[in-house]
Amino acid sequence: MGLSGKGALVTGAAGGIGRAIVARLRNAGAAVAVADRDAARIEAEVRLAGDLLDGAYADGLPNAAAAALGRLDILVNNAGVITRGPVTETSDADWTLSVGVNVEAPFRICRAAIPLMAEGGGGAIVNVASCWGLRPGPNHALYCMTKAALASLTQCMGMDHAHQGIRVNAVCPNEVDTPMLRSGFAKRGFDPDNAVAELGKTVPLGRIARPDDIADVVLFLISDAARYMCGSLVEVNGGKPVG
Ligand SMILES: NC(=O)c1ccc[n+]([C@@H]2O[C@H](COP(=O)([O-])OP(=O)(O)OC[C@H]3O[C@@H](n4cnc5c(N)ncnc54)[C@H](O)[C@@H]3O)[C@@H](O)[C@H]2O)c1
């Protein structure tokens, strides 16, 4: 897949899925600006460290990426946080964090990126949502709600900006073997290796996803092979339903 000459911005680039997306984009020839709280150790053309809860930082990311790379054709809103528990166990801080990172930041970044992409003749945006935003699972009310919001925003933007040559789609993974998943197991007192192996037995394909399983679908959605896809929510789940 040839992406040489293209400029890309990836958020959450230091995380499990983010790293895999960045590596694939660069392998395909794109120049990549990476965003995360700590971006120092990520191999990339441009590092834009900051906190996505800072509205001015999120608003400014697309322009900063375009200024540094010369153009912006690709955006992957991958950063995300997971908050566990029902609404009755959800604090104001949980709300601010989840809505801020999972919904408000992608909204701000897309709002700033779309005009830049349109000026450059079009582009592709992929949002990393979740199967749990399409069909909610138990005890993750805020996570499910914020990923549902991101999925809906993706469908709306997919319709509203297609005429500008901008395709907006989302990947919706089920469980992926990343620090997000492993730290959740550790917090609940489980051995992460055992827990990942046990969880794999619940997946029809026999294992939970690796970050590259998700990154490959992100790259497909960015590529010209997905040229007629706008506003699609693509589940990547090994056959495992939410529940
Ligand atoms: N791992 C899974 O099982 C799974 C399943 C479905 C969807 N997802 C989604 O995939 C995406 C990537 O998740 P991951 O599993 O790679 O998680 P991860 O925790 O490994 O990576 C997430 C990254 O986002 C960054 N981030 C979080 N809050 C931030 C903030 N305020 N400012 C800047 N950066 C911030 C983190 O620093 C981290 O590097 C997320 O949107 C997540 O919701 C993950």
Q: What burial class does residue 91 get, using C-beta atoms within 10 Å of its C-beta: 0-12 exposed, 13-18 middle, 19+ buried? A: exposed
CA dist 239 and 94 (Å) reads 30
143 catalytic? Reply is: yes
CA dist 126 and 121 (Å) reads 17
Which residues are registered as beta bridge partners of 123? 166
Tokens of 25: 């984009």
Banded pLDDT at 1 (limits 50, 70, 90): low
Mutational test site, ligand 1, from 9, 10, 11, 17, max ligand atoms within 8 Å of CB: 17
pLDDT in tens, 176-202: 999 999 999 999 999 999 999 999 999
At residue 130, what are phi and psi to the nearest 5 degrees?
-165, 150
Mean pLDDT of the chain: 97
Give me the pLDDT at residue 243, please. 75
Q: Once rounded to an integer, what is the mean pLDDT over residues 63-73?
A: 98
- Residue 223 near residue 159 (C-beta atoms within 8 A): no
Find out whether the beta carbon of 179 lies less than 6 Å from any atom of ligand 1.
yes
pLDDT in tens, 123-168: 999 999 999 999 999 999 999 999 999 999 999 999 999 999 999 9
Give me the pLDDT at residue 206, please. 97
Domain boundaries, the chain: 7-174+209-233, 176-208
- Residue 124 near residue 80 (C-beta atoms within 8 A): no
The number of residues in the chain equals 243
Q: 40: how many CB neighbours lie within 10 A of its CB?
A: 8
> Coil, strand or helix: which one is 45?
coil
CATH architecture of 7-174+209-233: 3-Layer(aba) Sandwich (3.40)
CA dist 53 and 138 (Å) reads 26
Find out whether the beta carbon of 36 lies less than 6 Å from any atom of ligand 1.
yes
pLDDT in tens, 17-62: 999 999 999 999 999 999 999 999 999 999 999 999 999 999 999 9
Mutational test site, ligand 1, from 108, 180, 185, max ligand atoms within 8 Å of CB: 180
The minimum-distance atom of ligand 1 relative to the CA of 51 is 32
Query: What distance in angstroms lies between residue 12's CA and the mean position of ligand 1's atoms?
Result: 6
Banded pLDDT at 232 (limits 50, 70, 90): very high
> Coil, strand or helix: which one is 167?
strand
Find out whether the beta carbon of 77 lies less than 6 Å from any atom of ligand 1.
no
Q: 197: how many CB neighbours lie within 10 A of its CB?
A: 12
